[in-house]
C-alpha cells in the first residue's frame, strides 16, 4: 500500500512527470550518468509499458501472488521512474522506499497467511512458517538508525535544538508547506519556553528509541510510543505519507514472531473448545474438497468445523453457532465475516443486487465444476454429477 500511495499519484499527470513533454531533473548521486542517458532515450510508448507493468506487479505484490518475482519486477519499475525524472520523487521517502524494497527482493519468501501464495500452495499452517530473520533484523536496524540519526542531526546542525529553538521557529516563521494548522499551534507560537522544552524532549525521544526498542523490557512501550510519535508527526508537519504507512509497520517487526504464533495458537485452542460453525460439504467431490482446503488455509482462528455430507450435495451448507442455517452463496457471505482473508470480499457480497446475482453465479459454478481445471481434482467424474 505504501508503494502504491507513493508511485501511483505520479501517474495522474504523465505529461508533466515522465513523458517527453515533462520537465525533468536527474539524480546523478543515485544513478550513473550512462544509465540516466539510456533511460532518457525511452519513447513515450515505453513509459506507458512500464506504467502498465507497475500496476500489474504492484497488485500481485499487494495480494501476495508470486511475491518475490512481483517484488523484483515492481522495484525495477520504481527504479526506472526514479531515473526517468526525480523532480517529484527524489526525496528521502523515495530513497527509504527503494532501500526497503531492495531488501524484500532478496528474500525468497514473502507470502505468509495473508497471501494468495499461501492459498496457491494449500498451506494450512502458513501462519506457523518462520519469517526470514535476516530481513527482519535489517528492517529493525533501518528504523532504529532513522530515529537515532535524526535526533543526532538536531544537536549537531546549525541552529540546533539544544542551543536554538527550532520548534518556536516552526510555530511562527516556517516556509509554506512545512507545518500544518493544528489545535495548539497559536498557543505554542506565543510560548518559546514551552517550545524549547518540547525540542529537548523530541531529541531525547529520538536518541533513546533505538535502545528502548532493542531492550525486551521496554520494547512494547517503545512500539506504542513510536506509533504515537508518527501520528503526531503526520498531524503537525507536512511530511511524506511514508512516515505514517511504513515506519509504524516496521515498528511491529520488533515483536518476536514466536509471540504472534503463540497468540494465534491460544486463540485456536480456545475456539476448539467452544461451539463452532459447521461446514457441510460433498466429500466425494474433488472440487469441493479443494475448496474446503482453501477454507482451511484461510481459517486462521479455527472457527470452522468441517463435516463430510451426503454424495451429490447441490451446495455447501453452513450451520452457525446461533442455530441458523445458510446454503450456497449465503453460506459464503456468512464466511466472509468469519475468515480474515475474506474481509476484502465484504463490499462485493453485499453490493446492491448481490442477493439476486450471487446465488445464480454460485449455482452455475456448482453445476459446472469440471470447467475449472485449476483444481485438477475432478478426474474421477464426480464433479460432473
- Structural domain harbouring 180: 132-255
Neighbouring residues of 250: CB distance < 8 A, sequence distance ≥ 6? 139, 140, 142, 143
Q: Both 9 and 94 in a single domain?
A: yes
- The set of cell numbers assigned to 174 is 516556517
DSSP structure class, residue 313: -
Q: Do residues 112 and 161 share a domain?
A: no
Residue 306 grid cell: 468441517
| pLDDT at 83 (0 to 100) | 87
Q: Write out the three cell numbers for 127.
A: 501462519
Domain count, the chain: 3
Q: Is 215 helix (H, G, I), strand (E, B) or coil?
A: coil
Boundary of a domain, candidates 69, 95, 130: 130
Taking a C-beta distance cutoff of 8 angstroms, is the pair 334, 366 a contact? no
- Cα–Cα distance measured from residue 236 to residue 318, given in angstroms and rounded to the nearest whole number: 49
Q: Do 192 and 124 sit in the same domain of this protein? A: no
For residue 90, the model assigns a pLDDT of 58
Q: Are residues 166 and 75 in the same domain?
A: no
Measured between alpha carbons, how far is 322 from 268 in angstroms, rounded to an integer? 20
pLDDT number for residue 372: 61
Within this chain, do residues 159 and 206 fall inside the same structural domain, yes or no? yes
The whole-number pLDDT of residue 109 equals 62
- According to the model, what pLDDT value does residue 384 have? 47
Look up residue 48 and give its three cell numbers: 506507458
Report H helices in 273-379: 286-298, 329-335, 346-349, 354-367
Rounded-to-integer distance, Cα 283 and Cα 306, Å:
10
Asked which of 130, 161, 187 is the last residue of a domain, the reply is 130
Helical (H) or strand (E) element with 248: helix 247-251
56 lies in the same domain as 147: no
> Which helix (H) or strand (E) segment is 308 a member of?
strand 304-309
Q: Which cell goes with 350?
A: 453485499
CA dist., res. 342 & res. 332, Å (int): 10
Same domain, 165 and 250: yes
| 381 occurs within a structural domain | no
Indicate if 1 and 121 belong to the same structural domain.
yes
Together in a domain, 109 and 144: no
pTM of the model: 0.75
Alpha-carbon distance of 115 to 136, in angstroms, equals 18
Are 100 and 184 part of one and the same domain?
no
Please give the Cα distance from 239 to 96 (Å, whole number): 14
Q: What is the predicted pLDDT for the residue at 48?
A: 95
Boundary-marking domain end, from 130, 155, 190: 130
Instruction: Specify the pairing of strand 317-319 against strand 277-282.
Output: antiparallel
Q: Which three cell numbers stand for residue 358?
A: 450471487
Q: Which residues of the chain have pLDDT under 70?
A: 88-93, 108-111, 157-160, 162-163, 175-177, 312, 369-385
Do 118 and 143 lie in one domain? The reply is no
Is 229 a domain residue? yes
SS3 76: helix
Q: Which residue has the cell 532493542?
A: 214
Is-contact 296 124, C-beta < 8 A?
A: yes
High-pLDDT (> 70) share of the chain, %: 90
Count the neighbouring beta carbons within 10 Å of the beta carbon of residue 164.
Answer: 15
Residue 295 three-state SS:
helix
Amino acid at each position: 500500500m505504501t508503494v502504491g500511495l507513493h508511485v501511483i499519484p505520479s501517474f495522474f499527470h504523465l505529461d508533466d512527470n515522465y513523458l517527453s513533454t515533462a520537465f525533468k531533473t536527474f539524480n546523478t548521486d543515485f544513478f550513473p550518468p550512462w544509465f540516466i542517458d539510456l533511460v532518457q532515450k525511452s519513447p513515450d510508448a515505453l513509459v506507458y509499458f512500464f506504467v502498465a507493468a507497475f500496476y500489474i506487479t504492484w497488485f500481485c505484490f499487494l495480494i501476495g501472488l508470486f511475491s518475490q518475482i512481483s517484488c523484483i519486477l515492481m522495484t525495477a519499475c520504481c527504479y526506472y521512474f526514479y531515473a526517468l525524472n526525480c523532480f517529484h520523487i527524489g526525496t528521502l521517502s523515495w530513497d527509504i522506499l527503494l532501500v526497503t524494497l531492495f531488501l524484500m527482493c532478496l528474500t525468497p519468501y514473502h507470502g505468509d497467511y495473508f497471501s494468495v501464495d499461501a492459498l496457491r500452495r494449500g498451506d494450512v499452517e502458513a501462519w506457523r512458517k518462520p519469517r526470514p530473520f535476516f530481513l527482519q533484523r535489517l528492517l529493525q536496524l533501518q528504523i532504529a538508525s532513522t530515529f537515532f540519526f535524526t535526533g543526532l542531526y538536531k544537536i549537531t546542525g546549525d541552529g540546533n535544538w539544544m542551543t536554538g529553538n527550532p520548534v518556536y521557529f516552526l510555530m511562527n516563521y516556517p516556509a509554506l508547506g512545512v507545518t500544518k494548522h493544528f489545535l495548539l499551534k497559536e498557543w505554542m507560537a506565543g510560548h518559546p519556553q514551552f517550545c524549547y522544552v518540547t525540542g529537548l524532549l523530541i531529541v531525547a525521544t529520538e536518541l533513546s528509541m533505538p535502545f528502548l526498542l532493542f531492550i525486551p523490557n521496554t520494547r512494547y512501550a517503545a512500539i506504542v510510543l513510536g506509533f504515537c510519535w508518527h501520528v503526531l508527526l503526520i498531524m503537525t508537519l507536512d511530511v511524506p505519507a511514508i512516515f505514517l504507512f511504513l515506519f509504524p509497520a516496521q515498528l511491529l517487526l520488533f515483536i518476536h514472531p514466536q509471540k504472534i504464533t503463540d497468540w494465534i495458537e491460544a486463540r485456536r485452542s480456545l475456539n476448539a473448545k467452544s461451539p463452532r460453525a459447521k461446514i457441510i460439504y460433498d466429500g466425494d467431490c474433488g472440487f469441493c474438497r479443494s475448496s474446503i482446503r482453501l477454507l482451511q488455509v484461510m481459517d486462521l482462528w479455527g472457527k470452522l468445523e468441517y463435516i463430510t455430507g451426503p454424495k451429490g450435495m447441490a451446495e455447501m451448507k453452513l450451520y452457525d453457532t446461533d442455530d441458523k442455517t445458510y446454503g450456497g452463496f449465503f453460506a459464503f457471505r456468512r464466511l466472509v465475516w468469519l475468515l480474515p482473508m475474506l474481509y476484502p470480499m465484504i463490499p462485493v457480497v453485499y453490493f446492491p443486487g448481490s442477493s439476486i446475482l450471487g446465488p445464480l453465479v454460485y449455482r452455475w459454478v456448482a453445476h459446472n465444476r469440471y470447467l475449472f481445471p485449476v483444481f485438477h481434482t475432478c478426474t474421477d467424474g464426480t464433479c460432473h454429477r
